[in-house]
Each structure stands twice: as C-alpha cells, then as structure tokens.
C-alpha cells in the first residue's frame, strides 16, 4: 500500500541525493468506522515517515486534535483557525519548527459561504532549504469551477508574495478538480487567470505520465457518489525555477492508502506522497 522506501532519508545538509517526503491526504474527519480507519492511517503514516504533511478534513476541537492523534509528538502542527462547526478544517505538520504562517479566506462569492474553504501557508527551514508548503483546499461542489479559479489565483499570489525567490514552494492538497480544469491548468502553467500566471510541476504527472492516478474513485467503497466526474483531484505541485523544471526535483510520486486492509479503507480519498530532492546540476558532485 505504501511503496516508497526511505533509502534517501533527509540528512543534515543540502545534497542532491537526500529526499524530502511530502504527503497530502484527505482524512475524511471521523466519519465511517473511525476506530479502524484511525489504526490504518496511523500505521500507514508512521511507515511513510513523511517530513511535511498537508491534511484536509481534520478535526480540531478543545477536546481532540486528530492530527496529533494520528502523527504523535514528533511533528510541529499548524491548524486552520476558521473551521467548520464540528472542528473540521485543514492542517499542516512538519518535522522541523514552522516559521511564518498565513491563512487565506477563500470565500470569494456567496456560493462558497457554507464551506470552510481556505489555503494554509507555512514556511519551514528544511535540510534542502526553506520550503513554503501551501495546503490549498478550495470549494468542492461540481459547479463551482469559477470559484476554484478565483481561489487558485488568490493562493498563488499569496505564495509568490510570501516566498519570493527565497524558498522552494510546494502546493499540496485536495484541489477538487481534475487536470483538465482551468484551475489546475493554471497551477501547471498551461493557462493564465485574472491576468496572472505561474508554473508548478505536477509530481504525479512527472513520474507517472501514462497512469491516471485517480484519488477519488468508486474503487473505494467509501466514495459516496460513484458517478462523480472528477477522479484525480489530490495533488502535489512543485514551483518551477526560472530556468528549467521544478526547483526541487521529483524523485518519486505514488498514491497512498489506495487499497483496503482487511476490508477497511483509510478514507474516501486516496492520498499522494512525493519524494523531492535538490536538482542535480553539472556542478554537483
């Protein structure tokens, strides 16, 4: 189920061979058989040993911190503050202390009022240099692509302002749109929106160009609507450098939690994990 080894564990300093593992996963709150899902998620995440984690639909209340429950005490955790009434929102976890953070309000029209759509940005000093992790969680409804387009530009502008040319930028999350949607085409540099453009490398596309990579699919018994038209909706995207490809090279990218264990599915989504390294240049040795 997990598949990624840790032979290139992050070390003490920058080096092209050392990998930074990024994971994104929609946890689906505490719905379904949470006791069994919890055990599966906790074991799988421990096996993956991620360095930076973007989680969606996590529960945070005065009594319960779902991310801490799943990951334990080895991570620094930042939670969205403006959450649903049941405590659901998004969260970021990092193996290293988190520096600057920013939370964006993505309620761009009246149609977004019933959902805690947001983007959470955190800056972390990693052994590969400063990384701005952007957990982007736009509106989910099928007919809200116009809102997703506006939300993507808000998030991308904020990432550019916060990171400048100082940090690597990784966008990860449940983006609620497939690769053909305008909002995703915007992220991957295939079209502009609102007079603005960026270019991020899709980690899945980079390593698995011939595979569909579905993360929301009726293969999963927990998926509510089997005729949902968008199948690959969870992404890890790496900002491209001015010259060449992404500023962090994609060493590997795989789906995670995409098979049941003893009849239990971890969530209604599959997750995505990517190993990123410093690009190898002609001067590297």
pTM of the entire structure?
A: 0.94
Q: Can you list the residues of the chain whose pLDDT is less than 70?
A: 1-17, 282-285
CA 173 to centroid of chain Cα atoms: 3
- 238 contacts 163 by C-beta, under 8 angstroms: no
Q: In what order do the strands lie in the sheet with 20-26?
A: 76-79, 88-94, 52-59, 20-26, 271-277, 249-256
Q: Which pLDDT tens digit goes with each residue over 72-87?
A: 999 999 999 999 999 9
| Spatial separation of the C-alpha atoms in residues 116 and 84, rounded to whole Å | 6
Alpha carbon separation from 34 to 8, 27, 28, 264 (Å, rounded) = 33, 10, 9, 10
CA–CA dist 145, 45 (Å, integer)? 31
Here the tokens at position 205 are: 């596309």
**pLDDT per position as a tens digit, 138-188:** 999 999 999 999 999 999 999 999 999 989 999 999 999 999 999 999 999
DSSP 8-state class, residue 96: S
Please count the residues of the chain.
Answer: 285
Averaged pLDDT of the chain: 93
């Amino acid at each position: 189920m997990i598949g990624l080894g840790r032979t290139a564990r992050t070390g003490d300093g920058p080096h092209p061979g050392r990998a930074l593992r990024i994971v994104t996963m929609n946890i689906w709150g505490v719905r379904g058989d949470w006791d069994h899902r919890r055990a599966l998620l906790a074991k799988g995440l421990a096996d993956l040993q991620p360095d930076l984690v973007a989680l969606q639909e996590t529960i945070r209340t005065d009594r319960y911190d779902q991310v801490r429950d799943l990951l334990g005490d080895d991570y620094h955790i930042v939670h969205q503050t403006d959450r649903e009434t049941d405590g659901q929102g998004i969260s970021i976890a990092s193996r290293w202390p988190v520096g600057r953070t920013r939370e964006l309000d993505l309620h761009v029209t009246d149609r977004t009022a019933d959902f805690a759509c947001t983007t959470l940005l955190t800056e972390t000093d990693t052994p590969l240099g400063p990384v701005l992790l952007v957990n982007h969680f736009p509106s989910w409804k099928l007919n809200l692509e116009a809102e997703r387009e506006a939300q993507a530009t808000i998030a991308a502008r904020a990432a550019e302002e916060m990171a400048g040319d100082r940090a690597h930028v990784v966008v990860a999350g449940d983006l609620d749109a497939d690769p053909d949607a305008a909002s995703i085409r915007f992220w991957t540099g295939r079209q502009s929106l609102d007079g603005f453009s960026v270019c991020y490398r899709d980690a899945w596309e980079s390593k698995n160009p011939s595979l569909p990579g579905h993360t929301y699919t009726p293969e999963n018994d927990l998926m509510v609507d089997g005729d949902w038209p968008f199948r690959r909706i969870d992404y890890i995207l790496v900002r491209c450098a001015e010259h060449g490809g992404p500023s962090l090279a994609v060493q590997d990218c795989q789906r995670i939690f995409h098979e049941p264990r003893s009849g239990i599915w971890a969530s209604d989504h599959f997750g995505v994990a990517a190993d990123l390294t410093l690009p190898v240049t002609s001067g590297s040795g």
